[in-house]
Structure 1
Amino acid sequence: MNNPVSLYPEHHPDAERPAYWGAVFSLALGVFGLVTAEFLPASLLTPMSADLGVSLAAAGQSVTMTAVIGGIAGPAVVVGTGRLDRRIVLLWLTGLLVASSLIAGFAQSLPVLLLARVLLGIGLGGFWAMSLSLAMRLAPERLMPRAMAIIMSGVSLATVCAAPLGAWIGATLGWRWAFLLAAAIGGVAFLAQAVTVPALPSTGATSLATIARVIRRPAIRLGLATILLAVTAHFSGFTYIRPYLEQVPHYDVEAIAGALLVFGIAGFLGNLVGGFLAERSARLAMSLAALVISASVLALGLVGAWPGVTMAALATWGLAFGAFPVSVQAYISRNAGDEAEGAGAAVLVAFQIAISSGAVLGGMIINGQGPAGVYLFAALAALLAASLTLIARTARSRTA
């Protein structure tokens, strides 16, 4: 059950390397629990703030705390635990999900709640920084996109389920029970990982110099630049999707909930489509996903006043953005070689920078140009992301 697995394909050719699908699904369950716990406050802020006796803005810092700590913790976990068995590190990270959710569920003050969210940020950031290398070690190289798609499906399911499930539990049982449910999910994931994940001995410590070295590779820089542009485009628009839906197609609350459900379901399907395409050409899949994001948000910016167009554009946007992380992770992994954890840390930081930049830029644009203007900016940024592959290929052909 816990036979050691090496990272290096030259030691274990694909023909000899088994795929540990049980372990891959246990990682999907773990990330479902992590992302569910991350998203829960969004649907529970009102009862949380009332119960803890703080303002909505103060309670909202529980979301900010997790995001900030996650961005710092990813590289720190990779560097600080480089010589430890990755299975042990994974179990500790999942254990942090359980501990943080239990602490949040029993928190009687805002500082205690924020402590819980710090622990969750460490678990979340550490997991994302390691997810690329874990997928590479648990599946043969040719099946790595499929493994990554399965892991990422946990994110899509959490995106679809976390907010409505949290709101329902908060309304029926109280907000604390939502976090206790997240703890239970984490406990099941911990047991599943303990049973299915093989021993994964360290393949050498990763340092900040290792991360810097892997970033200097042209192919890795291309992938990171694509992430920065495409994810900035996505979050500049998605952060402000509710005011857009209220002001442009004039959706009511029920229609907005339905539209976001369509987006989430499409994102789940996009994970599967992205894995299928990335097995054939990760570079093409990455560029195609960015191109479809661009076309979708452009439709929202130009003709989103038609409710049917808006719903269709949200579906294609969700499908494309669901495919993008799987595709770009597959592309990065194929160019990272034996420095997958360093590359994974760089990918995490790029995502966090892009998420923050998208929210800030979207806010600036919406204040000056209104909701529709945000989507024209997002279309341009995503189009530039899709164009990077062509630009890089043209530059190489000219220097050849």
Structure 2
Amino acid sequence: MDSKTTDANWAAVFALAFGLFGLITTELLPIGLIPAMASDLGVSDGAAGQAITATALIAAIAGPLLVLGSGRLDRRKIVWMLGLFFLASALLSTLATNLPLLLAARALLGVSLGGAWAMVIALAMRLVPPSKVPRAIAVIFTGVSIANVIAAPLGAWLSDLLSWRTTFAISVSLALVALISQLATMPRLSTMAPPSLASFRSVLAKPAVLIGLATTFLVICGNTAAIAFLRTFLESGLQINAQTVPLVLLTFGLAGFFGNLVGGALSSRSPALAAGGGALAIACATTALASQGQAPAAIFAAMAIWGLGFGAFPVAISSWNAQAAPDQAESAGAILSMGFQVAIAGGGVLGGILIERLGMSAPLQSAGIVAIIGAAVMLLIGRPDERRRTASQAS
């Protein structure tokens, strides 16, 4: 919120939320498109899956660099620049005729995504009065939840009905609407104290931030390794027909939406328990799926549990991060964004290696193992730390 006004700018908050919705949707679209992209581009599923890795790897670098390099520049102009990158990336993805060009387009998406993730919470905190900040953050994460619901099943359905290029063409429309809305609503947002390397060091010196980063890397790396090649596993491993796959993915997405709501509610009481619980749900579901041979009802149930856990985790870990460094929101947001994207990139690479060397169930098995470790870090180390910080604040 501009320091000269006490009015909430909800139009700008919704514009930011829609932009992040479009970015997350576009980031996750390849989950339902990998077999079709691989066939059309003449590469393996593992190679096509690096379309996810490219986005995440660049996003991990772009987020912190953008925050550090932005100095006192009006944040409104940065938002507009990221919107232009999003639009260019969507156009290039639609027109890509080979894997290197597709990866370049996805890398450009990573610049936009990394910058948006790094700054969106800090921006929302300036667009509304302090009393409205929780609601503004909820609006933004609702957009993320909807993206998690529709991206994979929409991509799979449109890919089967039309083509993977048509699916990416929808992202062009999302990017255009997001850019227009942000041009129309974003106020001038200058900064008086630009982030610096010193502020990053200060954030990283906080034990709670490190606990959150370790948990994030473990859980998200394993989750990405599994989900990036989920369609391949469902069709070739569990022998689910192509018409049923979108329904399985929709089950995951819908459960993720409700997981977001549950995670938000639990995080208001204990982000540690919410994050740890989400990680345990992911571990249980991926381990069950990896056993193969389940009845359809068991597959749908496992996907629902997985979706609940995956939906709850990002909200919970973001709440954890906000409480760990409440006075350094922009720097803390950039660091958490980097952690997420490094984990996603690592998971994409790990999943590609595992599926080609150890078989289709290996990414799911690895997801179960590392998610359990992540849950242990948060519940056995993070939860006691949370209790100490709460007691210290109360006194």
Give the TM-score normalised by structure 2: 0.81
Residues 249 and 306 of structure 1 are in contact (CA less than 8 Å); yes or no, is this contact kept in structure 2? no
| Residues 170-249 of structure 1 aligned to structure 2 (within 5 Å) | 178-246=167-235, 249=238
Partner deviation per Cα, 1:223-278 (whole Å, 9 max, x = no partner)? 11110121123123223323443466442222322111110111122222222222
CA 1:101–1:356: 2 relative to 1, 3 Å = closer
Distance 1:67 1:282 in 2: 25
**Counterpart residue number, 2:112:** 123
CA 1:370–1:139: 2 relative to 1, 3 Å = farther
CA 1:117–1:365: 2 relative to 1, 3 Å = closer
CA 1:237–1:173: 2 relative to 1, 3 Å = closer
Distance 1:17 1:384 in 2: 44
Unaligned runs of 5+ in 1: 7-15
Shift of 1:218: 0.8
**Counterpart residue number, 2:324:** 335
Residues 5 and 200 of structure 1 are in contact (CA less than 8 Å); yes or no, is this contact kept in structure 2? no
**Counterpart residue number, 1:252:** 241
- SS of 1:253's partner is coil
- SS of 1:338's partner is coil
Counterpart of 1:189, as a letter, is A
Match of 2:57 among 65, 68, 73: 68
**Counterpart residue number, 2:287:** 298
- SS of 1:199's partner is coil
Counterpart of 2:122, as a letter, is S
Match of 2:310 among 321, 329, 332: 321
Per mean C-alpha deviation after superposition, the further-off stretch among 223-232 and 60-69 is: 60-69
**Counterpart residue number, 1:380:** 369
Per mean C-alpha deviation after superposition, the further-off stretch among 163-172 and 129-138 is: 163-172
Partner deviation per Cα, 1:116-161 (whole Å, 9 max, x = no partner)? 4443221111111112322333456676454334323333433443
Counterpart of 1:202, as a letter, is T
Partner deviation per Cα, 1:350-389 (whole Å, 9 max, x = no partner)? 1122223334444555567655555444333222222223
Distance 2:348 2:102 in 1: 24
CA 1:205–1:238: 2 relative to 1, 3 Å = same
**Counterpart residue number, 1:94:** 83
Distance 1:320 1:304 in 2: 23
Counterpart of 1:91, as a letter, is W
Distance 2:363 2:167 in 1: 34
Residues 281 and 306 of structure 2 are in contact (CA less than 8 Å); yes or no, is this contact kept in structure 1? yes
Residues 230 and 290 of structure 1 are in contact (CA less than 8 Å); yes or no, is this contact kept in structure 2? yes
**Counterpart residue number, 1:27:** 16
Shift of 1:312: 0.7
Pair 1:312-2:301 in alignment = yes
CA 1:361–1:396: 2 relative to 1, 3 Å = same
- SS of 1:206's partner is coil
**Counterpart residue number, 2:253:** 264
| Residues 74-153 of structure 1 aligned to structure 2 (within 5 Å) | 74-105=63-94, 116-139=105-128, 144-153=133-142
Distance 2:364 2:61 in 1: 30
Give the TM-score normalised by structure 1: 0.80
Per mean C-alpha deviation after superposition, the further-off stretch among 65-74 and 35-44 is: 35-44
Residues 74 and 125 of structure 1 are in contact (CA less than 8 Å); yes or no, is this contact kept in structure 2? yes
What is the CA RMSD across the aligned residues, in angstroms?
3.7
Counterpart of 1:185, as a letter, is L
Residues 229 and 385 of structure 1 are in contact (CA less than 8 Å); yes or no, is this contact kept in structure 2? yes
Distance 1:4 1:62 in 2: 38
CA 1:333–1:198: 2 relative to 1, 3 Å = farther
Counterpart of 1:212, as a letter, is R
Distance 1:83 1:360 in 2: 36
Distance 1:42 1:396 in 2: 35
Distance 1:318 1:22 in 2: 30
Shift of 1:39: 4.2
Per mean C-alpha deviation after superposition, the further-off stretch among 184-193 and 139-148 is: 139-148
Match of 1:352 among 337, 341, 346: 341
**Counterpart residue number, 1:10:** none
CA 1:24–1:248: 2 relative to 1, 3 Å = same
Q: How many residues align?
A: 386
**Counterpart residue number, 1:4:** 2
Residues 83 and 112 of structure 2 are in contact (CA less than 8 Å); yes or no, is this contact kept in structure 1? yes
Distance 1:365 1:228 in 2: 18
Distance 2:245 2:164 in 1: 23
Partner deviation per Cα, 1:283-302 (whole Å, 9 max, x = no partner)? 32222222222232333345
**Counterpart residue number, 2:146:** 157
Shift of 1:395: 7.3
